[in-house]
């Protein structure tokens, strides 16, 4: 999330007239993230998030909003898109598509404990099951075709050693994707960006209360992909120790055990796990390289360091971690 397209209170008041959301009280831009323009909006009827989509195709937007509605209806704590008085889930502002969603309670956790990781692992498995019958999503927009398109754009900014790493990993992932077992991996609608800042927790009350996920946000990288990839993206963020990116054993064990209690991976998923961890690290190394070296103009933006995911990719290539790690 970020602010690329600034809006005024007057513009938001005009937009609100088409929605059953009351009158504007306050408007605040959100600086976290790097893809869309986002605003916290308080009205006389509640607290909401307004998103202006900077890159997402308007043709694909109903699928993303539909996924959120689908999950919310099945008890997954995620933002629920709000229809205007005609039933439409998105509108236009500054010539770009926009949408309103409910604002969730809670806060992200910077340094998760094993209990947070267990909550996340169980929720991720439930999300996979809940979205198994949702077929309207396109393929993962940051999947393998995107990697191949972005690699030539970022290669001029790499050292020889980094270029060699990129070429070697792209080759390995091509072979992996062409293998007979890859097509057997269970797949469906996935979040594909389930980092710590996209999961909210209610703060514990009395001492000893277990953390509880209060919301999963930012579904705008969602797409059809393997469930194993979604799990790999999550553990590569939730279960690591800085600065080298090695796995924190207790966090990793907690997340994987909780996921497996809700959905036991197939034997083919266990075999594919090491390469899927590398695929997840490669995807975010490429995206951070692209955001750093090929940025867009923005009013508020916080680019992230690509070196973090370069370290993760090297670590995953050097040491395989089993999916059934206890």
* Residue 169 clears pLDDT 90, i.e. is over it: yes
In the chain, the percentage of residues whose pLDDT exceeds 90 is 85
Question: What pLDDT, on a 0 to 100 scale, did the predictor assign at position 56?
Answer: 84
What is the maximum span of the chain, computed from C-alpha positions, in angstroms? Answer: 57
Residues facing residue 157 across a β-bridge: none
State the pTM of this model: 0.92
How big is the CA angle at 34 (ends 80 and 115), to the nearest 5 degrees?
60
Q: What's the rounded Cα separation, in Å, for the pair 82 and 236? A: 32
Nearest C-alpha neighbor of 283 from the set 170, 120, 168, 161: 170
Domains of the chain: residue spans and CATH: 9-102 (3.30.200.20), 114-318 (3.90.1200.10)
- Per-residue confidence at 214, pLDDT binned at 50, 70, 90? very high
- Per-residue confidence at 137, pLDDT binned at 50, 70, 90? very high
- Among 22-36, 74-88, 169-183, 227-241, name the one with the lowest average pLDDT: 22-36
Question: What pLDDT, on a 0 to 100 scale, did the predictor assign at position 34?
Answer: 65
What is the DSSP secondary-structure string of 187-249?
A: EEEE-S---GGGEEEEPP-STTPPPEEEEE---TT-EEEEHHHHHHHHHHHHTEETTTTEE-H
As a whole number, the mean pLDDT across the chain is 93
Average of per-residue pLDDT across 207-218: 85
């Amino acid at each position: 999330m970020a602010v690329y397209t600034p809006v005024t209170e007057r513009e938001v008041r005009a937009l609100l007239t088409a929605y059953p959301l009351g009158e504007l009280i306050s408007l605040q831009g959100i600086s976290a993230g790097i893809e869309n323009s986002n605003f916290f909006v308080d009205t006389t009827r509640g607290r909401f998030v307004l998103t202006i989509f900077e890159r997402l195709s308007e043709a694909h937007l109903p699928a993303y909003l539909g996924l959120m509605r689908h999950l919310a209806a099945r008890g997954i704590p995620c933002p629920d898109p709000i229809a205007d008085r005609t039933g439409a889930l998105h509108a236009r502002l500054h010539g770009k598509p926009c949408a309103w969603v409910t604002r969730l309670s809670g806060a992200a956790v910077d340094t998760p404990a094993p209990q947070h990781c267990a909550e996340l692992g169980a929720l991720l498995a439930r999300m996979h099951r809940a979205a198994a019958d949702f077929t309207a999503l396109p393929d993962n927009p940051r999947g393998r075709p995107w990697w191949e398109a972005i690699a030539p754009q970022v290669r001029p900014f790499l050292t020889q050693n980094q270029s060699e790493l990129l070429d070697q990993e792209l080759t390995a992932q091509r072979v992996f994707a062409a293998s007979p077992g890859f097509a057997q991996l269970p797949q469906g609608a996935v979040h594909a960006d389930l980092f710590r800042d996209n999961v909210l927790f209610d703060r514990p009350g009395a001492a000893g209360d277990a953390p509880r996920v209060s919301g999963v946000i930012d579904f705008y990288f969602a797409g059809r992909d393997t469930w194993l990839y979604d799990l790999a993206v999550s553990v590569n963020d939730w279960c690591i120790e800085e600065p080298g990116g090695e796995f924190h054993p207790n966090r990793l064990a907690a997340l994987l055990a909780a996921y497996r209690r809700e959905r036991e991976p197939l034997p083919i998923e266990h075999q594919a796990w090491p390469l899927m961890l590398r695929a997840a690290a490669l995807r975010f190394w490429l995206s951070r390289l692209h955001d750093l070296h090929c940025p867009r103009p923005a009013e508020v933006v916080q680019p992230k360091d690509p070196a973090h995911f370069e370290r993760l990719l090297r670590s995953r290539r050097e040491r395989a971690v089993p999916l059934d790690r206890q």
